[in-house]
Structures are given as structure tokens and as C-alpha cells.
Structure 1
Amino acid sequence: MNVTIRKIGNSEGIIIPKEVLSRLGLKAGDSLEISEANGEWTIRAADSDFTRQIQHAERFMDKYKTALKKLAE
């Protein structure tokens, strides 16, 4: 399937056809993971559990930034 990169505000992006989103069970607002290996790009739904864990870790690190810096010394 071919798609075109389009200007979207100050960014650029692709429009994913509705039938592809439906087939993959995706909707507006869902997160995707993009990876590249050997010149090939893969786009897949992000692991929501992993994403949630990363968000919690980032909040923890922000909250305890000073203590973590002291421990790292």
C-alpha cells in the first residue's frame, strides 16, 4: 500500500486509511511504535502496558530527581 507524506500544521505525516485502522483495531489517539532495520520500516501498535510503565517511571524520576542524582554520585 502506498501513502503520501503530507504537511500537517508545522509537521509532516501520513494518513492511514480507515480500513487499515479498522483491520488493526486502531483509532485516533492510539500510540504507534515505528522501528527501522536494514532499510525497512515497521509500524505497529505500541504496547500499552509498557507505555503505562514508562509513564509511571518518568513521573517517579521527575518527583525524586534530586535523590536520584545524589545516589548516582
Structure 2
Amino acid sequence: MAIETKVRKIGNSLGIVLPKEALQALKVEEGATVYLTEAPNCSLNINPERPGFEEQMQIAESLMQRYRNTFRELAK
């Protein structure tokens, strides 16, 4: 599913408005927290807040930082 939306000026920032279809696919409502995570090829993933997600991301970021040289070598 591809949903098109535009980047808009919101106050002094830029933002996007998620259409109804995207909110239904993410199973989120107004006021919900979503996480943007970096993905390959200059893209982002949008993940709704799920129990334990933030803790998992902190663990993953800690491991990536600790073993960054190892990951860099593996990526070659």
C-alpha cells in the first residue's frame, strides 16, 4: 500500500499529516505515540507504540554503538 502525503509547514517546523487510511493501518488514533526508525535507502519506518518497543530500541541502539566497528566490518 502506498499513501501519498505532502510535507507542510506547521508553526516553525515541517510535518506530515497521516491520512485516515494510514492511521487505520497503524491502528493508532489521535494522541498516539509513533516511532520513526531509519531504514535502508533513505527511508523511514513508522511504528506505533507497542509495549516494550522503546526498551527494545534502546537495547538495539546500545548494541549498535558498542559493536559499531564490528558492524562496520561486517557491512564491507
Q: Same fold (TM over 0.5)?
A: yes
Question: Equivalences for 1:4-43 in 2 at 5 Å?
Answer: 4-38=6-40, 39-43=42-46
State the match for 1:45 in structure 2: 48
- For structure 1, the residue ranges without an aligned partner over 5 or more in a row are 54-73
Task: Mark the structure with the bigger radius of gyration.
Answer: 1
Distance in 1 separating the partners of 2:23 and 2:17: 10
Tell me the alpha carbon deviations over residues 27-58 of structure 1, each in whole angstroms, 9 at most, x when there is no partner: 1110011011322211110224555x8xxxxx
Identity %: 35
- For structure 2, the residue ranges without an aligned partner over 5 or more in a row are 56-76
User: What number of residue pairs does the alignment pair up?
Assistant: 52
Distance in 2 separating the partners of 1:50 and 1:37: 16
State the match for 2:60 in structure 1: none
State the match for 1:56 in structure 2: none
Distance in 2 separating the partners of 1:50 and 1:23: 18
Query: What TM-score do you get using the length of structure 2 for normalisation?
Result: 0.55
Give 1:22 shift. Answer: 2.2
Query: What TM-score do you get using the length of structure 1 for normalisation?
Result: 0.57
